[in-house]
Structure 1
Amino acid sequence: MTQLTIAMGKGRTADRAMKLFEQVGIRFSDYHDKSRKLVIYDDDNKVKLIFVKAVDVPTYVENGAADIGIVGKDTIMEDPVDVYELMDLGIGKCIVAVAGFPEKEFTNGAPLTVASKYPTIAKDYFNGQGIRVETIKLNGSIELAPLIGLADVIVDIVETGTTLKENGLVVLEKIADVSARVIVNKASYATKTSQIQQFIGDLKAALE
């Protein structure tokens, strides 16, 4: 039987995914959060796990470097790729939201300036509302943008809302619910159908 290759980023989502893997009998004895290994194998040598930047997971899966990927829905929305999205793992739950000062209102007048590491999601959302936007791509400290006048609002991941609150910002509109999803390479699904279906079925059973 050929190996399944799974791609995912390190961090809390990976830690939770590892616990799920253990529940379905897939154990990675070499895994620990301090390890710098980029490739590890399960104890039965049936699954190869590769660690990549979370934003790159869909690219690895689409191009066949991995059969399966575990990645946040926000990443899939921001940079859509040609893969199957087969399962919501329900881990890493948060929302993608528009945030800003409490009194901020959206109008169809002057373009809205939006700071975000998700410019595609931001544009798609506001275009759907009929609101013109100019986006500024930022990769960190997004909450700073409205505070210094760089942007009118931000589009970002919100989990607890603590950082927003501490900076005088609030969620103005929710765009989407986000959690970790299982994506699959289309060619792999055709050639490793039974293995992938078994893997998905085991995960679903573990979550029930």
Structure 2
Amino acid sequence: MSALSSAALVPETKTPLILALPKGRILTECGPLLAAAGIVPAADCLDEDSRRLRFPTDDPMLDVVRVRPFDVATFVAFGAAQIGICGADVLMEFDYPEIYAPLDLRIGGCRVSIAEPVASAAQDDPARWSQVRVATKYPNIARRHFAARGVNADIVHLNGAMELAPGLGLCRLIVDLVQTGSTLKANGLQEVEVIANVTSRLIINRTALKTQPEAIGAWIQRFRMALESLSINASTCT
């Protein structure tokens, strides 16, 4: 019997599904989407000051957990959560085969970009780069991008404060997530190339989709209908 056939025989669980949400900016943007999908979490779920990490919802078969944006994909890939909302940048960085991303939720818009000091950017030509040192929290994205262009990149992995690195001589370039560019500007940096535009995606654990197809499929459909509803409302208001 194939693995898929065996999975089909596993009954739908009576344990609540777990939806992993990212802390920070995207959490706020999730509010209207969750409401449109009919998800009403505990009142403090969207409150960044709350110390709780797991929250019940009005549906006894769905709980919400709130984790760091980079950790959402890991929770879902390893089955700790069956559903999640995750930036495409995180999916690109980790490239977990265990994750299925059926929907672009059209929230959390930003971009993964290359930046360098304004002074050197004025005289630099990215097409002539052959070897560079790059500070980033996206080592895999950066490595793949520069390798595809034939550039030998020495990657310095940082988890934050990327904007300080060029001025302190740690690197020549940074690869970071950019929304408005104001943080770059405040630290004397200039965006010189966009690697990828990013939005948040609905992500699903593939094993959960096989073993609980009705429950997971129903939630995918609810998010799809929520997107359609929000799109219709937005077009009506313009």
Give the alignment's TM-score, normalised by structure 1: 0.92
| 1:156 corresponds to which of 170, 173, 176 | 176
Instruction: After TM superposition, list the pairs within 5 Å mapping 1:7-18 onto structure 2.
Output: 7-18=20-31
Quick one: structure 1 residues 28 and 157, their matched pair in 2 at CA, closer, same or farther if it must change by over 3 Å? same
Q: Deviations over 1:140-169 (max 9, x none)?
A: 221111222221111000100112122332
- Give me the identity figure in percent: 39
- Tell me the equivalent position of 2:144: 124
Q: Which residue of 1 aligns with 2:75?
A: 60
Moved more, 70-79 or 25-34: 25-34
Partner Cα separation in structure 1 for residue 53 and residue 144 of structure 2: 34
- Could you say which residue in structure 1 is the equivalent of 2:190? 170
Moved over 4 A (4+): none
Counterpart check, 1:198 vs 2:211: no
2:55 maps to what in 1?
40
Offset at 1:32?
4.1
2:105 aligned residue (89, 95, 106): 89
Q: Which runs of 5+ in 1 are unaligned?
A: none
CA displacement 1:4-49 (0-9 Å, x = unmatched)? 2111222221222232111222111332412211111111312111
Q: Greater Rg, structure 1 or structure 2?
A: 2
> Quick check: 154-163 or 37-46, which moved more?
37-46
What are the ranges of 5 or more consecutive residues in structure 2 without an aligned counterpart?
Answer: 1-12, 229-238
CA distance in 2, matches of 1:59, 1:185: 10
Paired residues, number = 207
What RMSD in Å do the two structures reach over aligned CA positions?
Answer: 1.7
Deviation at 1:118, TM superposition (A): 0.9
TM-score, scaled relative to structure 2: 0.81
1:78 maps to which residue? Answer: 93
Q: Deviation per CA, 1:113-148: give whole Å up to 9, x if none.
A: 001111111110000001101011112221111222
Compare the two structures and name the one with the higher helix fraction.
2
Q: Distance in 2 between matches of 1:207 and 1:143?
A: 35
Distance 1:152 1:184 in 2: 38
